[in-house]
């Protein structure tokens, strides 16, 4: 299959390499000077999209997504499929999908979960929005780049699922870190805390699979000085997207709002930039009740 891949950063690079390794003809483009194993580089996004049966994008935000859409849609052939794997606002995802549909192009918004490690290993999870026909054409590529793809509904549904999931993740991580900090001050051993909570009603992914306490539970970024598996600034981005969506849909999300404010303070004023999002634990360790 002839594939154009635009956005070859930390995530897009290994995703494109896995497609090329699987035997697809991949032409890539990125604003930076990058080299991707098995991928032929183009001089522009439009050039990468020309004559491609499928175009995949992995971009930083909705503004850039809309600009790339303006560039590549006129270059794409009718009947081609555009899979956008970026995490962006729902409104932008729906806007570019409408633009693509008007040009006879099938569009899928398919943000991912699994991080850089999942991109390299081909074990990502895709949350997809779009028509049944568009998802059916994208599905074989999801099988190469990931381990699971869920068709969540029409255009924008993939972004909605990602935003809601990561709002839960951000809120839960804060609660997990608060609980460990409280346990410390109550003199409760962290391992004993984990042994109880991980098998009780406090069970959660942030406790059981990604524990923020070093040396407790399975290995996690906490065991590597909080070097990011999922950076705090990326969590902040997703939480801000959740609150943008909540505002536009008139949804009451007080916990999401509080988590956004805490990560904003952590990233922008407390040295959290470049740390894993679980580094909230040492942040709470240092603080008293104010």
Q: Half-sphere exposure of 17 toward its Cβ, with a 13 Å CA cutoff?
A: 16
| 3-class SS of residue 83 | strand
Catalytic site includes residue 137 = no
In terms of C-beta density within 10 A (0-12 exposed, 13-18 middle, 19 or more buried), how is residue 164 classed?
Answer: middle
Total residues found in the chain within this entry = 290
Closest CA to 92 of 44, 158, 9: 158
Nearest to 151 by CA among 108, 202, 199: 108
As a whole number of Å, the CA-based R_g of the chain is 20
Can you tell me the distance from the alpha carbon of 174 to that of 170, in angstroms, rounded to the nearest whole number? Answer: 6
264: number of Cβ within 10 Å = 16
Residues 137, 162, 237, 275: which is the catalytic one?
162
DSSP 248: H
Find the helix or strand (DSSP H, E) in which 4 lies: strand 2-6
Catalytically active residues, by annotation: 162
């Amino acid at each position: 299959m002839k594939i154009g891949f635009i956005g070859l950063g930390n995530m897009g690079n290994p995703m494109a390499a896995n497609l090329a390794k699987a035997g697809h003809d991949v032409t890539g483009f990125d604003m930076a000077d990058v080299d991707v194993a098995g991928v032929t580089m183009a001089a522009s996004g439009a050039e990468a999209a020309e004559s491609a049966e499928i175009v995949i994008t992995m971009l930083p935000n909705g503004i850039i997504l809309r600009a790339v859409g303006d560039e590549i849609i006129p270059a794409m052939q009718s009947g081609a499929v555009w899979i956008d794997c970026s995490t962006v606002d729902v409104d932008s995802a729906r806007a570019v999908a409408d633009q693509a549909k008007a040009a006879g192009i099938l569009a899928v918004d398919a943000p991912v979960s699994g991080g850089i490690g999942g991109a390299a290993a081909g074990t990502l999870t895709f949350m997809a929005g779009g028509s049944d026909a568009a998802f059916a054409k994208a599905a074989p590529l999801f099988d190469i780049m990931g381990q699971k793809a869920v068709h969540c509904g029409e255009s924008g549904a993939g972004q909605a699922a990602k935003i809601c999931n990561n709002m839960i993740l951000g809120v839960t991580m804060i609660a997990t870190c608060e609980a460990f900090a409280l346990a410390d001050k109550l003199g409760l051993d962290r391992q004993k805390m984990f042994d109880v909570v991980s098998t009780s009603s406090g069970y959660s992914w942030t406790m059981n699979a990604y524990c923020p306490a070093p040396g407790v539970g399975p290995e996690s970024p906490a065991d590597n000085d909080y070097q990011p598996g999922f950076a705090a600034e990326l969590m902040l981005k997703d939480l801000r997207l959740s609150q943008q969506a909540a505002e536009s849909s008139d949804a009451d999300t007080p916990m999401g709002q509080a988590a956004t404010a805490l990560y904003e303070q952590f990233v922008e004023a407390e040295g959290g930039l470049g740390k894993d999002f679980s580094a909230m634990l040492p942040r709470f360790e240092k603080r008293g009740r104010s």
